Amino acid sequence: MKQAGSVLIVDDNCDILIAAQLLLKQHYQTVVTTDNPFDIEKLINEHRIEVILLDMNFNHDAISGQEGFYWLKSILNQNASVVVVLMTAYGDIQLAVDAIKAGASDFIAKPWKNEQLLAVIAAAFAHAKDKQKVDKLTRQTLGLNHALKGQNFEFLGQSVAMKKVFDTIKKAAKTDANILITGESGTGKELAAHAIHLASNRSDEAFISLDMGSIAISLFESELFGHKKGAFTDAKADRTGRFELAHEGSLFLDELGNLPLNQQATLLAALQNRQVTPVGGTKPIDVNIRLICATNENLPQAVHENRFRQDLLYRINTVEIRLPPLRERVDDIPLLTEYYLEHFSRKYKRNLSIEPEDMNLLCHYAWPGNVRELSHVIERSVILSDSGVLDISSVVAVTSDKKPEKSDVAENSKSHDNALNDYIDNTVYDCFNLEIIEQRAVRAALKHHQGNVSQAAKALGLTRGAMYRRLEKHDL
């Protein structure tokens, strides 16, 4: 039974073409021949050639093999997945070595033994299948990276505060200095990390991110360093860790301030040694990464309170970039609003504009959830607006939160429990919808704790995981 596959034989000797064709067509579905190497490109496209058996000499009395090297290079430039086997009547070991170095799969001398030629061609087809798989995976990876990049919003701003941020990113990105991004929740720390990576010399390599606050203690080393099959109960196969995945690229560690002290020591060792050892493994793996970290914690204060290692802080913040909250960059609100309005109008197939009074309302709102909250407000407004004009009043959170902040904790020095109760009394006294009450309570907790999710969750009596579920549930 013939195997699936297409092979092209290129030789200026008709007897060689006939002999090779008669032999190979017994085993492969498509066998094409030509005595003119200038036909190679056309035949590759017409017959989807996978393997080429290529003579090394086409001019009379030529024995150098240079023609074969020329056409080999031409073929691989046209289609790198094609596998080429070179052949010549002048068997020469050095010529064979040079051919393989130049990209040939194998080398065979004429006259050949049929069994030898069949074995070489079979190996070439196996190599071709492997190259096709690699090409497919590469395309999938590139497509995935493109898709993931496409999910991110642009990192925008024109205010004085953001111009300072952009200037720092421009200076630091081209170096390999470790960067610490600080700022309240929702200010765009991951977008800033992406911007740093794209502006760096590693932009063509992987950008790998990990939320440190979401990792279970038992899985910390496995997530970062990988593990070997059988290393623990659920380790049913080898797993590559984030450090190794980010090799030659950038590793973004978000919510770093939530990392326990013992895990901080483990992370510090990996950063200092530039090596990781998978759980259950014995051989260290060298890693070359650009480290970008982010936190909404006050790390110097955490160091003072013995909750964060000072030596790790020194290691991660060669350059520190503070992202200002939206209330400190009010000039950017119109720009961001128009950007999100266009984005979500396109996404939901709407054609909406915004009235000046609604833009003014957005510019005077406090935005405790920062840019993330603005994005969600515009998205909900686009969905709920009935006419061709954006209806901000359809989004309860903005209009309700616009009321006087009678429960301002900083000014009145109230406890967070009283602040939450006052907030609910002042904004939802006429509403008995538990969903709305929960949403506003979560929002108030975030505002009181300046976007710190961990502290807000503690104030509400929730676990961190439960807090994240409510943030997702209410689009906060």
Digit-coded pLDDT (tens) for 205-244: 889 999 888 888 888 899 999 998 888 887 888 888 899 9
Rounded to the nearest 10°, the torsion over CA 127, 133, 138, 144 is 180
Sheet holding 28-34, edge to edge: 28-34, 3-10, 51-55, 83-88, 106-109
User: Span 95-114, mean pLDDT?
Assistant: 82
Least confident window among 46-60, 117-131, 157-171, 460-474: 460-474
Residue 95: predicted pLDDT: 72
**CB burial readout 175-195, b (16+ within 10 A) else e:** ebebbbbbbbbbbbbbbbbbb
Amino acid at 15: D
User: How far out from the chain centre does Cα 71 lie?
Assistant: 38
Number of C-alpha atoms within 13 angstroms, CB side, residue 334? 8
Least confident window among 45-49, 84-88, 363-367, 391-395: 391-395
Q: How big is the chain by its Cα radius of gyration, in Å?
A: 31
Amino acid at 470: R
CA separation for the pair 363, 265 (Å, rounded): 44
CB atoms within 10 A of CB 437: 14
**Which residue, 208, 217, 216, 211, is CA-closest to 287?**
208
Q: In this structure, what token pair is assigned to residue 161?
A: 């505060």
**Contact indicator for 132, 81 with CB cutoff of 8 Å:** yes
Residue 63 has pLDDT above 80, yes or no: no
| Residue extents of the structural domains in the chain | 3-134, 152-324, 328-473
Instruction: Tell me the pLDDT band of 431, cut-offs 50, 70 and 90.
Output: very low
- 211 forms beta bridges with 254
Residue 29 has pLDDT above 70, yes or no: yes
Residue 294: predicted pLDDT: 96
3-134 to CATH, choices 3.40.50.2300, 3.20.20.70, 3.90.1530.10, 3.40.50.1400: 3.40.50.2300
Q: In this structure, what token pair is assigned to residue 218?
A: 């038992």
**Contact indicator for 419, 444 with CB cutoff of 8 Å:** yes
Residue 450: predicted pLDDT: 75
- 85 forms beta bridges with 53, 106
| Bridge pairing between strands 106-109 and 290-295 | unpaired
**Contact indicator for 19, 44 with CB cutoff of 8 Å:** no
Percent of the chain with pLDDT over 70: 83
| Residues 263-288: tens digit of each pLDDT | 999 999 999 999 999 999 888 999 99
| CATH of region 328-473 | 1.10.8.60
Residue 141: predicted pLDDT: 56
CA separation for the pair 471, 463 (Å, rounded): 12
**Contact indicator for 179, 196 with CB cutoff of 8 Å:** yes
Q: In this structure, what token pair is assigned to residue 90?
A: 């002048």
- Fold: same for 3-134 and 152-324: yes
Q: Which class does domain 152-324 fall in?
A: alpha beta
